[in-house]
């Protein structure tokens, strides 16, 4: 059997496993283990509210959005990303891409999420030391062209979470995806499944789960305006969320991200996005609450690319991301 048929079968199997397993899900993704897997992969993606399943990208960091997005343009491209989260939480990753001709395009990356330092206290409330908590994930993947305009890809991740020195969790997960680039009509389509796998060990007595996710995306560049629009449906294997009396439209919005990117030139872009689920969960004000909204920009200078994103978390503050990429 040809390699592309094996990959396509794998992708369909993962989609089926998510869809058929949806009724037995016991909690929302936010309550799953290994939160490092749930972070937006890059500043560009974050500025677009995470709408990136079909977002064509020449960077090695596309490995985390949809492995099928890896192309030959990622060859020799190294990317660094940093997230300044709330409180003492911070995160980041580094990724590198390599093209191997007919074998395909490959990428590897390491992601981390640090929760900072915590005081360790005894039963009397006395401080006896301190400890840290963090997540780390190592990912390797690749993509190939199946038919003109159509690519498939897969990525394997090994995750490790730790609290202090004695409490650890380990898991292994698989991502797979398809992307169709209809360049003639300036549009692209994508489907991907993420974090399908198993937890090898959990922290304490709790039973951790991987934050599985089924996504479908669409992007289009307008004909008479330098604007790329993007829509992504996520968590489609489990149509949850919203008030108990929410109608069909409200539930759909809970699983949809909208975004746009003004592409003034190859050297300068302005981006914006909106995630309704995040808005509804984080909003505090009854009016003009910007929770769930995001914005950012991209600048290219010679061989370097700089992307910045700001995501509003209402009165809690905002998240700042910076991604730097260059070819070596």
200 half-sphere exposure, CB direction, 13 A CA radius: 11
What's the domain count of the chain?
1
Q: What's the gap between Cα 281 and its chain centre? A: 19
Say if residues 67 and 175 touch (Cβ distance below 8 Å).
Answer: yes
Q: For residue 74, what are its two tokens? A: 């990622």
pLDDT value of residue 77: 92
Q: Pairing relation of β-strands 304-312 and 318-327?
A: antiparallel
pLDDT value of residue 156: 97
Say if residues 30 and 212 touch (Cβ distance below 8 Å).
Answer: no
132 vs 95, residue with greater confidence: 95
pLDDT value of residue 245: 62
228 vs 33, residue with greater confidence: 228
Say if residues 319 and 46 touch (Cβ distance below 8 Å).
Answer: yes
pLDDT value of residue 317: 78
Q: Containing domain of residue 86, as a range?
A: 3-327
The CATH number of the domain where 39 resides is what? 2.40.160.60
Is residue 66 over pLDDT 60?
A: yes
**DSSP, residue by residue, 107-131:** EEEEEEEEEEEEEEE-TTS-EEEEE
Taking the model in full, what pTM does it have?
0.83
pLDDT value of residue 244: 64
């Amino acid at each position: 059997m040809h390699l592309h048929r094996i990959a396509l079968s794998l992708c369909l199997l993962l989609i089926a496993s998510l869809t058929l397993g949806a009724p037995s899900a016991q909690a929302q993704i936010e309550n799953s283990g290994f939160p490092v897997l749930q972070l937006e992969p890059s500043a560009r993606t974050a500025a677009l509210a995470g709408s990136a399943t079909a977002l064509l990208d020449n960077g090695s960091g596309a490995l985390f959005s949809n492995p099928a997005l890896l192309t030959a343009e990622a060859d020799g491209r190294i990317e660094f990303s940093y997230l300044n989260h709330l409180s003492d939480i911070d995160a980041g990753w580094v990724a590198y891409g390599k093209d191997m001709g007919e074998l395909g395009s490959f990428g590897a990356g390491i992601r981390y999420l640090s929760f900072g330092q915590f005081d360790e206290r005894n039963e009397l409330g006395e401080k006896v030391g301190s400890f840290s908590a963090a997540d780390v994930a190592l990912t390797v993947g690749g993509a190939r062209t199946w038919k003109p305009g159509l690519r498939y890809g897969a990525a394997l991740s090994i995750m490790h979470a730790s609290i202090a020195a004695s409490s650890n969790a380990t898991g292994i997960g698989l991502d797979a995806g398809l992307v169709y680039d209809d360049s003639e009509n300036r549009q692209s389509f994508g489907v991907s499944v993420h974090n399908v796998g198993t937890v090898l060990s959990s922290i304490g007595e709790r039973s951790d789960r991987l934050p599985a996710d089924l996504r479908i995306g669409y992007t289009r560049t307008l004909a008479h305006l330098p604007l790329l629009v993007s829509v992504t449906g996520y968590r489609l294997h489990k149509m949850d969320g919203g008030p108990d009396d929410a109608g069909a439209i409200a539930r759909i919005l809970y699983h949809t991200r909208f975004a746009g990117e003004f592409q003034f030139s190859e050297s300068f872009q302005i981006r914006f996005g909106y995630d309704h689920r995040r808005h509804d969960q984080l909003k505090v004000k009854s009016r003009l609450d910007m929770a769930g909204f995001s914005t950012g920009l991209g600048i290219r200078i010679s061989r370097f690319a700089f992307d910045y994103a700001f995501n509003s978390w209402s009165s809690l503050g905002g998240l700042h991301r910076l991604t730097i990429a260059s070819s070596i």
